[in-house]
Amino acid sequence: MKPRFAHPDLFAVAQTRHPEAPDLARIKRDIGIKRGERTARRVDADWMDRALERVRQFALIHDEPFLAENVRDDSAHDGRAWGAIFCKAARKGWIEKVGYAPSASSNLSPKVLWKSLIFTGEAA
């Protein structure tokens, strides 16, 4: 007997998405990061520099992969500003993306897993 209401195949729906959808998602992500960065600079002009240094110090002494939530604090007026910080740290060659892991601060949704590229075991 066939079920009266069949559940849709969610994976089949994903395969039929518009081919430009990932590009649009990246654009929206980048816009969100820029907005968070602008807001943080407006509220506290030096916050970005302090936050970037916090990531560098963390990367110097942590060899295991980590989530942004392990590094960040509540000092940002807008939590999205941390996205810009991690992107800058990656561009500087301090950290790199190595996968995804569940984030406790986001109801276990997957977030970027980072790894230090400058680990020395000692803070500078």
Is residue 81 predicted with pLDDT exceeding 70? yes
Which sign, positive or negative, has the C-alpha torsion 70, 72, 73, 77? Answer: negative
**For the whole model, what pTM was predicted?**
0.74
The domain segmentation of the chain, as residue ranges, is: 22-116
Residue 124's pLDDT is: 80
Q: How far apart are CA 82 and CA 88, in angstroms?
A: 10
Q: Percentage of the chain surpassing pLDDT 90?
A: 48
Cα gap 26→74, rounded to integer Å: 26
pLDDT at 30: 86
